[in-house]
Amino acid sequence: MLKAIQECIKKTMTVSDAFKALDSGVGFITLQDFAVGLGHHFDLTLKQNELRALFLEVDSDGNGIVKYGEFDAFYRMNYDERVKELETEREQMVT
């Protein structure tokens, strides 16, 4: 899901344009900004749990807002590699 969202955003706008589109003018993106902006600017409709999962992934420091650097990292991330990392983390938690 994250990779598909990322690809949709990348096809539509540059990272700075996408951040500006999602930012409500305060210099960071909130969960509400994502909920409104993804549908409005990128024609993406997500369920609440999908929206939260996306937000938690992008908000890498967990402070409840997404700053430009975090959004840029999401925009540029290789999600094939990220999936492998998550699988490794899950395996380590099981053992």
- How high is the pLDDT of residue 92? 87
Domain that holds residue 30: 2-94
CATH number at residue 78: 1.10.238.10
Domain count of the chain? 1
Dihedral sign (CA 43, 8, 81, 20)? negative
- Which pTM was predicted? 0.83
- Count of CB atoms situated within 10 Å of the CB of 65: 16
d(CA 44, CA 34): 10
Tokens of 61: 């420091």
Digit-by-digit pLDDT tens for the chain (95 residues) are 778 888 999 999 999 999 999 999 999 999 999 999 999 999 998 999 999 999 999 999 999 999 999 999 999 988 778 777 878 888 888 76
Residues 18 and 12 sit within 8 Å (Cβ to Cβ): yes
Residue labelled with tokens 């409104």:
36
CA–CA dist 91, 86 (Å, integer): 9
What's the pLDDT score for residue 95?
Answer: 66
